[in-house]
Structure 1
Amino acid sequence: MGEAEQSQRNREEVRRLMARVDEAVAARLLRGALDLHVHSGPSTMPRQLDHLEAAEEAAAAGMRAVLFKDHHYSVAPFIPLMDRVLQKPEFSMFSGLVLNNSTGGFDPYVVDAQLKMGAKLIWMPTAQSANHIRSSHRKTRLASNVKLASSPLLTVVDELGNIIDPVKRILDMIAEFDVILSSGHLHVWEIWKLFDEARARGVKRLLINHPMYGLHFTYEDIRDFANLGVIVECSAAMYVDSRFNVYSPQELKEHIEAAGVAASSIGSDLGQVDNPTPVEGMRQAIKLCLALGFSEDDVRTMVTHNPAKLVGLAA
């Protein structure tokens, strides 16, 4: 069976399972939820809504916060402007910096400036990481639909497998500002090295995004990272009724259970054209989790409590 056919079958199963769940229950769980993986625009890639529209939709659904992610710039400096326009003091917006070549790579001076402008999360390289570029060359997972200038392959380790000095300086800054470190699209082997160094330097907030998608994780890796206090985020886009669907509902259950609910979170990873909006993706993920047998408390832990802890919002 080809990937497209499998994805279509997955989506049919998702729709069948979601139909079992009361819309009112899903709406109640969406209230207070946080989405720490919103791909709104402007961006180098087509987006179906801009940052302010994404925030308005989330606030209207009663969500508590969103975090904007763009692979090639930080939205953090614009948050105060959007706060003034939105005028929703009970609703929080965050962003951060992805350490791709397009944003300075492993440049501590860029990171320093962004942290002082309110960046809440520092992602290791994504679209310009060595792991991502090699995957794109093979035209497999992590392939990109946008062509930027050819980019050097970014890795956090030297030829001996040691964390390079600029990354160590950045880790110290992340620890000082007590913000979130995400592994980006690094290979799992690099992530082990990176997180060992980060923990030794006092970084407390650790996040892994879609570990089973293109990062070469095993279930054992997920379990072991979770046991170290790392939050493991499942991207709704890869499980719900989305053109990015690559996993069956059963695989979603397995991926969550590998980390355990207490170490799991769900982010939409949505905002692309011809896909559900981030809010709709979160709603579908909530319904799918309930249909798979997770309790309302389980779901609230994954969409509210764990992401709130990451960004430092009180329960």
Structure 2
Amino acid sequence: MGSAENREAARALMAQIDDAQADRLLRGAVDLHVHSGPSTMPRQVDHFQAVEEAAAAGMRGILFKDHHYSVAPFIPLMERVLGHLNVAMYGGLVLNNSTGGFNPFVVDAQLKQGAKLIWMPTAQAANHIRSSHRKQRLASNVQLRPSPGLTVVDPYGEILDEVKQILDSIAEFDAILSSGHLHVWEIWKLFTEAKKRGVKRLLVNHPMYGLHFTYEDIKEMAEFGALIEQSACLYIDSRFNVFSPEELREHILAAGVAHSSIGSDLGQVDNPTPVEGLRQAIKLCLALGFSEDDVRMMVRDNPARLVGLDVE
């Protein structure tokens, strides 16, 4: 089924769900995948607007992700201006070449400035570059200076020493480690090493999109202790849609609701806003047969626990 058919199917299912029910479940939600601006790519909302829209929807928190800089140092300034909205704000660092790559000194400094999450390389990961051939997966609409592909392993398949130092820093600050856009084989190697070094918070983003996961990989990774995040933009009425509604259900059930979360992965132009995208994902999940408790767990409780927020 192509993207147009997927979007049509998603719209038909979402129409079955009352807006008020979705809005009720959106209250208290935590979105760990917000691509607001400024950025090297056009964005529909800036960081301030993203917080304001989240507050209007009654959301509890959002985490900003940019592929080429860290929002973490700006969070104290945003809290001074927007703190009265009572939306928890978080930032983190993506380890692309544009931010220093596997540089333990940069990671240490960012963690000391409050970075909550460290993503492995995304747009400049070797797997991303390979998987973006003919723009089939993980393609980017911005042309930066050509970058060598990054991998966490040496030619013998062992985790690089500098990556081990980074894992030690993540463990020290009890921050979150995300798989970024690494290949599933690299992720297994990385997460195994991370757990040995005391990293407790593990996150996999869109495992079936460009990371070459199988359903068995998702199941085993969830059992290993990682939270499996599905990106709303890949399933809803979005120009990034590549999966059918039925595939969303399958992807969630592969990990199990107890080990799943949903992030919007939105903020791009000509797409739903992060808040609207999460709302659509909630409606789609309900239409697919997930209960209200299931949805709350995926959009509220599980992401809240990952960032260290208390859950009622």
TM beyond 0.5: yes
Do the aligned partners of 2:55 and 2:85 also contact (CA within 8 Å) in 1?
no
* Cα deviation 1:134-188 (Å, max 9, x = unaligned): 1223432011111111111100000000000000000000000001000000000
Picking from 161, 164, 170, the partner of 1:174 is 170
**Map of 1:155 onto structure 2:** 151
Q: Displacement, 1:117? A: 0.4
Q: Displacement, 1:83? A: 1.1
Matches of 2:19 and 2:45, distance apart in 1: 24
Matches of 1:24 and 1:140, distance apart in 2: 37
For these two proteins, the number of residue pairs brought into alignment is: 311
Q: Which amino acid aligns with 1:33?
A: A
Matches of 1:137 and 1:87, distance apart in 2: 43
**Map of 2:308 onto structure 1:** 312
**Map of 1:194 onto structure 2:** 190
**Map of 1:272 onto structure 2:** 268
**Map of 1:133 onto structure 2:** 129
* Cα deviation 1:215-253 (Å, max 9, x = unaligned): 000000000000111100000000000000000000000
Q: Which amino acid aligns with 2:286?
A: L
Alignment of 1:60-99 (within 5 A): 60-88=56-84, 90-99=86-95
**Map of 1:260 onto structure 2:** 256
SS across alignment from 1:88: helix
Q: Which amino acid aligns with 2:161?
A: D
Q: Displacement, 1:198? A: 0.3
**Map of 2:288 onto structure 1:** 292
**Map of 2:241 onto structure 1:** 245
Q: Displacement, 1:211? A: 0.4
Q: Displacement, 1:89? A: 5.8
* Unmatched tracts of structure 1, length 5 or more: none
Do the aligned partners of 2:233 and 2:264 also contact (CA within 8 Å) in 1?
yes
Q: Displacement, 1:88? A: 2.4
Matches of 1:75 and 1:150, distance apart in 2: 24
Matches of 2:268 and 2:85, distance apart in 1: 27
Q: TM-score, structure 2 length as denominator?
A: 0.98
Matches of 1:88 and 1:227, distance apart in 2: 39
Q: Which amino acid aligns with 1:66?
A: I
Stretch of structure 1 that moved more, 221-230 or 78-87: 78-87
Instruction: Give the direction of change, closer, same or farther, for the CA distance of 1:191–1:63 in structure 2 (3 Å limit).
Output: same
Asked if 1:41 is matched to 2:37, the reply is yes
Do the aligned partners of 2:71 and 2:92 also contact (CA within 8 Å) in 1?
yes
* Unmatched tracts of structure 2, length 5 or more: none
Matches of 2:240 and 2:136, distance apart in 1: 13
The percent identity for this pair of structures is 77
Do the aligned partners of 2:96 and 2:122 also contact (CA within 8 Å) in 1?
yes
Q: TM-score, structure 1 length as denominator?
A: 0.98
Name segments (4+ residues, structure 1) moved above 3 Å.
none
Matches of 1:11 and 1:128, distance apart in 2: 29
**Map of 1:18 onto structure 2:** 14
SS across alignment from 2:239: coil
Q: Which amino acid aligns with 2:132?
A: S
Q: Which amino acid aligns with 2:129?
A: I
Matches of 1:190 and 1:311, distance apart in 2: 24
